[in-house]
């Protein structure tokens, strides 16, 4: 089983002005994030604009990333797709290219609505890989929820050992934790409380612009230093909540530029946040510089 404890960076994908991927900058950023202490890297994450990358681009990012990371951190690859055969093909390729685990959304566009249907989907993925599967629970985006009851069933699958919970509902997060398995928090504004409740780690978009703080927060909670953790969290909270309630991915990119982790622009159809929003974002980042 892969060890995905701690902070796994939901890594941004660097783009050049013409929209092509900047692989050189990708490698440079990987080094900087690992130097900052991140425990893992999630390639082709939501923050990396997974829906707007081609399958070929995703595989190249993984190949380049695995080589660059060279065992210094765990590597998770998102293999989500609408087409079942594509999910399986991407998942098999990810294992072959050296990923430690794959992250897979449940079928999310006019897909199965019953627990039996969703279980069958993950069962098919489980059959074709020998690495860990990270289920991805983000009901606000998919309109599909992996409930505690369904999670309990999914844990019976040999490779389904993790779930990323981006529900943002601390009660539901605690319920998932209580089912066993390993829960990775994916909701920025509840990070310290999820860690205190027993989350195994996080897959974290905000680590693109404050990697050292995210890692330190996790480590402080892990050591039981809750007062120090909450003092740090007071500096992280304004930007975390700003992103959560605004245009998340373009805001992450803008914040990363401002904090010195420039990965270029977003790829269309996403657009940069407007100037007034940039001002609000920068204000939310100021406590990190104090």
Residue 290 pLDDT > 90: no
- Asked whether residue 250 is assigned to any structural domain, the reply reads yes
pLDDT at site 111: 80
DSSP codes, 120-144: HHHHHHHHH-SSEEEEEE-HHHHS-
Domain assignment present for residue 37? The answer is: yes
What CA–CA distances, in Å, run from 114 to 106, 139, 179? Answer: 11, 14, 20
pLDDT of res. 1: 81
Please give the mean pLDDT across all residues of the chain: 97
Measured CA to CA, the distance from residue 250 to residue 271 in angstroms comes to: 7
The pLDDT tens digits of the residues spanning 68-95 come to 999 999 999 999 999 999 999 999 999 9
- Residue 258 inside a domain? The answer is yes
Residue 213 in domain? yes
Beta-carbon contacts of 82 under 8 Å, excluding residues fewer than 6 positions away, are 107, 108, 109
pLDDT (average), residues 25-45? 98
204-236 pLDDT, tens digit per residue, is 999 999 999 999 999 999 999 999 999 999 999
Question: How many domains are contained in the chain?
Answer: 1
In a domain, 261, yes or no: yes
Percentages helix, strand, coil for the chain, rounded to the nearest 5? 50, 15, 35
Domain membership flag for residue 182: yes
Residue 1 is assigned to a structural domain of this protein = no
Between the CA atoms of 61, 64, 68 and 74, what dihedral angle is there, to the nearest 10 degrees?
Answer: 50
Residue 185 pLDDT more than 80? yes
Q: Is residue 47 part of a domain?
A: yes
Rounded percentage of the chain residues whose pLDDT exceeds 90: 96
Beta-ladder partners of 263: none
CA dist 158 to 7, 123, 179, 218, 236, Å? 24, 9, 16, 28, 37
Structural domain of 240: 6-289
pLDDT band at 112 (very low <50, low <70, confident <90, very high): confident
User: pLDDT tens digits, residue range 186-211?
Assistant: 999 999 999 999 999 999 999 999 99
CB of 125 closer than 8 Å to CB of 133: yes
pLDDT given at position 101:
98
**Cα–Cα distance between 207 and 34 in angstroms, integer?**
11
Give residues with Cβ within 8 angstroms of 79, minimum separation 6: 58, 87, 90, 91, 93, 94, 102, 103, 104
Q: What is the CATH number of the domain that holds 89?
A: 3.20.20.70
Residue 113 has pLDDT above 90, yes or no: no
The Cα 24–Cα 38 span in angstroms is: 20
Determine phi and psi for 223, rounding to 5 degrees: -90, 0
In this prediction, residues 261-280 reach a mean pLDDT of: 97
3-state secondary structure of 79: coil
């Amino acid at each position: 089983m892969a060890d995905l404890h701690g902070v796994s960076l939901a890594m941004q994908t660097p783009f050049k002005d013409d929209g092509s991927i900047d692989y050189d900058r990708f490698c440079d950023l990987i080094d900087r994030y690992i130097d900052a202490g991140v425990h893992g890297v999630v390639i082709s994450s939501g923050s990396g604009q997974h829906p707007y990358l081609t399958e070929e681009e995703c595989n190249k990012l993984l190949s380049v990333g695995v080589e660059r990371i060279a065992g210094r951190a765990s590597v998770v690859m998102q293999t989500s797709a609408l087409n079942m055969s594509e999910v399986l093909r991407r998942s098999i390729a990810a294992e072959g290219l050296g990923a430690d685990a794959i992250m897979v959304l449940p079928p999310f566009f006019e897909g199965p609505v019953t627990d039996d249907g969703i279980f069958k989907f993950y069962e098919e993925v489980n059959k074709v890989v020998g690495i860990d599967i990270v289920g991805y629970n983000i009901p606000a985006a998919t309109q599909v929820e992996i409930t505690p009851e369904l999670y309990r069933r999914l844990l019976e699958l040999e490779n389904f050992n993790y779930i990323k919970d981006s529900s943002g509902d601390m009660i539901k997060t605690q319920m998932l934790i209580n089912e066993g398995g390993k829960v990775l928090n994916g909701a920025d504004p509840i990070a310290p409380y999820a860690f205190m409740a027993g989350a195994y780690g996080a897959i974290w978009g905000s680590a693109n612009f404050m990697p050292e703080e995210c890692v330190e927060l996790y480590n402080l909670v892990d050591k039981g230093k809750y007062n120090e953790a909450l003092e740090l969290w007071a500096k992280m909270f304004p930007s975390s909540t700003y992103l959560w309630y605004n245009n998340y991915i373009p805001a992450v990119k803008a914040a990363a530029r401002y904090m010195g982790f420039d990965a270029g622009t977003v790829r269309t159809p996403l657009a940069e946040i407007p100037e007034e929003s940039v001002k609000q974002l920068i204000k939310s980042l100021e406590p990190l510089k104090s």
